[in-house]
Each structure stands twice: as C-alpha cells, then as structure tokens.
Structure 1
Amino acid sequence: MAIAPDRTARAAPVQLADPATYRVGVPHAEFARRRREAPVSWVAEQPRVRPSSAGPIVDSGSGYWAVTTHAAVVAASREPGTFSSGRRGAFLNDPRTKADLEFVRQLLINMDAPEHTAVRRVVSAVFTPRAVGRLRDQVTDHARTVIRGCLEKDRFDVVTDLAAEVPLLVLADLLGIPRADRHLLYGWSNRLVGFDDPEYGGGDVEAYRQAFAEAFQYALRVAEERRRAPRDDLVTRLATAEVAGRRLSDREFCQFWLLLVVAGNETTRHLISGSVQALVEHPGERDRLHAAGQDALPTAVEELVRWVTPIMQFRRTATGDTELAGQPIAEGDKVVLYYASANRDGHAIPGADRLDLARDPNPHLSFGIGPHFCLGAHLARLELSAVLTELLPHLPAVELDGPQVRLESNFVNGIKSMPVRVRA
C-alpha cells in the first residue's frame, strides 16, 4: 500500500532549494533548526523560470525530503538499493524528458550497481592512496610555483590566482592535455556546475548545453588522438577501456571525461578557497596551526574538508515505500542528502559549529559514504595539504582586502572571488 506522507508542515523561513539563498553563505541556522525538529523534513520547491532559445521554461520542482542529520545521511547512503542515484539522477533538478534522464545516467554519479561498480573500476586504480602518493612531488611543485607567484604581488585573488590554478595544473597533467588548455576546463566547469549563477548563465538551458557540446568536442579529439597513439595517462585508459566486455561509447567516454574535469578542479578549488577563508576568519586556529607546523597538517586538512564541505548535497530517489529516521517516504519521492548539514551535527561531531584544526576523530561526510564515496578524496587532500604547506609560513600575514563574491548555487559551496593582501 502506498504511503501518504505528511507534507503540510509549516513552510521553512529559508528556501533551501533556491540557489540565491547561498549567495550569502550556507544557511547553517536553517539546517540546525531542521536537525532539531525533524531529521527528514519536507521542502517545497518554488517554480523557477529559466531562459532558453525557445522562450522561458518554467521549472517546477516536485519538492523533496531534506535529510539533515549525520545519522540519517549515513543510513540513506548505505542503502543504495532503496535510495537510488540512477532512477532520477543525483542532481536536485529533475530531468525534463526521458532522453535527458538517459543522458545523465551515463555520468558515474548518476548510476546504480552493477553499472556503477563496473565503470568505477575503470579508473579507481588511478586514485588509490599509493597511486596518488606518486603524484606528490608533481603536486608540490605546482603548489610551490603558484603560491610563489601570488606572494610576489601585493594583492592577489585567492580563487582565480591560487585555488583554481593548482588543481587545474594537476588535472592537465593527470589527463595528459596541454597546460595551456587548463582554462578551457575552468570555463566549462563554471558554466556546468555554476549553471544557476547569473555570471555563468543564470540557468540558461542553451548556455548549459553549449558548454556540454564544447567540452564533448574537445574530449572526442583527445580520445581519437589517444587511440591512434596511446600514452601512459588517464585519458588513454578511458579511451581504450572496456566495461562488461565492450569499449565505452563516445558519449560514455565524454561523460566520464567531463566528470573528471569538473570533479577534479571545481570541488578542489572551492575546498582550497574555503580553507583559506576559514583560516583568515579564525585567527586563533590559524596561529595554532602556524605554531604547530607541518606535522599538524593532516588533522587540519580533515577539519577544513569538514568545515568547507564543497559539495553540499546529492539527490537520491526512493525505489519503494520506505522510512528514514522515522519519516515515511513514498516510492518515487526525491530525497536530498545534505552533507553540509550532517557535518555540523553536534550529535555525531561534538562542537561541530566550532572550527578545531586539531579535531580527532573527525567522521565528516564531505566525500560521501558508501558506494559513491568520492574517487578523488585522496587527491583533494594531497592538493590542499600541498597548498597549506607552502602557504603556512605566510598565513599570519594574509588578510582579506575586499568583499568576497560567492557562487549562486544550491549544489556547491563556492566562492568566485576573494581578494587578499599579504602584510610586509
């Protein structure tokens, strides 16, 4: 018998689904209220008008269950058969057509087992701790060069001059593409992940599709080159890989390549910039880290990953009538796992509203949990650690030098611009 969940609760004072809400920061007070009142609570999505070449498109979301406590997010993440990534995709916006759904299902994060397991296996060996460890010298060199260039200026932008540059250089090397092309990757990921931000398209469907098309055309050229002349790089592995006895189609290759492009630079960029912001705004913790030195970095990195939580949420869809944290959920309901809220849950992480760079243990969920645990977690940690290692001697002299501009997104916790200066 179908469950008829109660969706008549009073409207929340903050619209969690609205990208504009996050222009002033993550609404931690609203998440705290929801954790107190109901770990799983209903969010009504307001209709949004999106521009397109065919005229305005009204995007009327179905509404969803917001999962806000650490325990509930963990529980749902560990039941992928009940809370599916593939049924309607992992993004908050619903696919508009069956074709749209089939398109997004070719992206790893929008797959369920067994397809997810088979495709993930293609690249998982590249991101093991041992494999990432072999990139240490390369990552360190990039961090040192970029930070040296920043420090030579009286003033620089943490996002564009530092946080974007390091992961882009690492990604260009990892994918075996010219470093000069790294800013193409930056532009595509901004337009795709920052889709709702007015600067990057303002929800324009055509601009989004154009970014996909440009990225796919580039990826196909790279794939053709690797198939003609294989190299020892990740793109060759993808271009020649077989899943379930067959080679990836061109579209599947492009989707996988684009996922690596976006995840490899977008999330790490926001992690680095958010970490610098946290250190500047919490001088006591910054000075403690500066005094403790490099030995304290591994623990500090985990806390900064928790504090920033670059990916704020992923969506799941209930495959049948079920229950989560005492809340009945009907088959087909949208369920959104809020890592940004779970990481501030004091029941799981005591004193979670306080930045504590010596926090241990630190059971944060910034990289997810379960079968969709972030493939690039070890690389993200390495890149942030390399940046902090090079920046650590200069941290006490770094201070904000103008307003920060945040990304208008309900998906990533991002900063677009953060000017700083380094006192002499």
Structure 2
Amino acid sequence: MKIVVVGKGGREHALVRALAESPGRPEMFCFPGSDAIFQLAQPVPADGLESLVGWMKENDIGLCVAGEESYLVKGEGLANLCERAGIPCWGPHLQSAQLEASKEFAKTFLERHNIPTAKAVACATLDETVAAIGGKYPTVLKFDGLAAGKGVAVCLTEPEATAFLDEVFAQNRFGPGRVLVEDFLTGPEISIFAAIVDDHYLIFTPARDYKRLGEADAGPNTGGMGAVASRRLIPAELLTEIERGIVGPTVSGLRKDNLPYRGFLYFGLMLTPEGPKVIEYNCRFGDPECQAVMPLVKGDLASFCLAGAKGELEPGLISFDEGWSVCVVLASAGYPETSRSGDVISGLDAVETARIYHAGTKRKGQGEWETNGGRVLALVARGETRDEAVTNAHAATDLVSFAGMQRRRDIGICNFED
C-alpha cells in the first residue's frame, strides 16, 4: 500500500514512523514534509492541495492521512478533494473540521448537544470584547480561527487581556476573526483522542501536555513543551464518564448535524469540580501528544486507518501498551515569541533508548542537523512505570544540545493533580 501523510512537523514525523512500522510495511510519502521525514518517506512533487490530490490519483495512492489541521480547511478541504478523486482519506471533511477551525462553531455545537463546556460570548470588536469581560478576572480569551496553538489566552489580570487583544485587533497577528470571552475553569487538563468512523469510535491512550514554557507551568503559552501518556493516566471510571458524557454525545452530534467524520478527533478537557468539560476540539492528533501516544500503539495502524477511511472501524487491528510514555520538547532560542534557526544540534547519535521526532530542523548536506523553527525536537521514552518513563526521557534529552536550547525538566514529573 502507498500512503501519503500531509504535514511537516513533529506530529507528522511520529505518524509517518508509526504507519511505516505497520506489518505490511507500506510505501510512505509525505507533503510538504521535512528533511527528517524524508528519511522515512518520499517527497511528493506538489505545490498545493489541487496538485497534491492530482499526484496521488496519478500514482495510485491507497490512503491519505491528514496530519496538519490547516490542510483540512484550505480551499475545498483535503478530505473533500480526496473523496472526489476516489482516494480514501483519514481526516474529516471541510465542514466537519470547523470544530477546530472556528471556536465559535465548536461552542455552538457543544451547547446545541448539551455537552459540558464553559459559557462564552462571541465578540467582533475590541469594544465588544472589553464589555463582555466586564472587568471580571481571571477570564479566557480565544481567537476564533486557527492560530497554531497560540490563539488562546488565560488572562489573570487586565494587562494580560489588553496585551492579547492588542495582538488580535491591532497587530492582526492571527488574521481576521472574532474573539470568544469564556468563563475561567479550574482543574487539571487531560487530552482524549478518539478515532471516529461515522457513528463508531475507539478511544486511544489519554495524554496530558504541558503548554507553558517554564517549569511549574510558568511563563508564556506555547504549542506544547512536552507530554505524558498512559492508559493509567486517569482512573477507568473517569474515562467511562468522559466517554458517556462527552465522546459519545459528540459522535452522535456529528451524525445529527450531518457532519461526516472519519479521522482522529482530539478532546481538550478540563477536569473541573463539577466534572469534565470540553475546552476545545482539534480535528487531528495533538502535538506533542501524538509523539507520546504513538509509541504505545501496537499492531497495524496503517490497515486501521485505511479501514476507517473506507467506513469500517476495526479496533482489532491495533492495541495499546499499558505502560507510560514521556515526551520532552526542545525549543529554540527566543521561542515562543520568535525562533532562531541555524544552531547546530549535537548529541543525536548518542541517543539509544528514546525516539527522536524532528519538528523544526534541517540537515546541512548529508551531515549535521541544525535548528529551523520554534519547537525543534521531541525525545520520547517509554517505561513500565511513570517514574521509569520520566527517567528514560530526561536522561536521553540530557544528551542533546544546541545554542539557546530551551526545555522543561519537570515534564512527566508533576503529579497529575498539580
């Protein structure tokens, strides 16, 4: 089987590797890809969605796997174009991907189907937003569109809110879009992933990511500085509650609203004193949670995704390791406000007990790797216990370095309840 993965980051590197390790050893391709991904997959000579789908059709690609969210909502949508070309696609249609592309769309969906979430007001202007906040802090502000994981601000004070709103309305950092003013929720967060095929679903291994740049969740928000994953991350009875109150009703809501869905769906949840509530949906695997979860997936992921893309959920094709996985992200100097490229990375060859996923790197000829973005690398290690996985991941990370490198040394160490 020939498979194309669409995307270029650390998540796609993890997906390509997991799919490539399937028993059938599929022939892997990637668009737009990266130097690291192209060590596992062949590049696709395309310059956009239309030419990508045309190339896939001409080259008898058997499965397209959507990694990066932006392609799901570009133009007519990746999945929609694939369907028209007769190519099975593991990723939702354009209209369904609005659950991620528009936070206002997602909020109205949640409210319509009585799925627990924070109350929110959508605002079109700065004045409307300030009025909706009404001087009440803390508050949560969310840019309505895609923002590469940086469109949400948890504002404890008025100056924090003012700074974020200046980015949105004055600097136009994320482009045109409305802002949701949302009630502030308290409690630990959890990431739940489900493979959805029409009205059937399978829940993957839960994970928790670490969004703040600094240890103990200090500093600015980022796209994610690490993650921990395990079937034992939360009690079984809590996962059952989440399935019954959130995952199941979401799948039913998609069907009721005629929103076709075949692919991964991410549920970002807050475990509040009143119970689990949805913070956000992502219409793909999380990043860096994907890097933590994929090493725990056993079996034939390629055949699982192909069957799902064709309308059959086949849970017997895969299983999940009952141990733990810890992912530590290494970021470049200046991240998240800026990023620095061109710093030589050393120590990669010394890592033997962890997986290395490249997010923002490039290769100098056939030799050294260097930084080429904000989040540079993710090092992932497994263990039968949480402590073992933490020790393995941080020991491997200690071997890697580059000028200006930023990392958190508490990834996986904080208790879940912290």
Query: Structures share a fold, TM > 0.5?
Result: no
TM-score, with normalisation over the residues of structure 1? 0.28
Q: Which has the higher contact order (CA 8 A, sep 6+)?
A: 1
More strand by share: 2
Which structure's residues are more often helix, by fraction? 1
What TM-score, normalized by structure 2, do the two folds share?
0.28
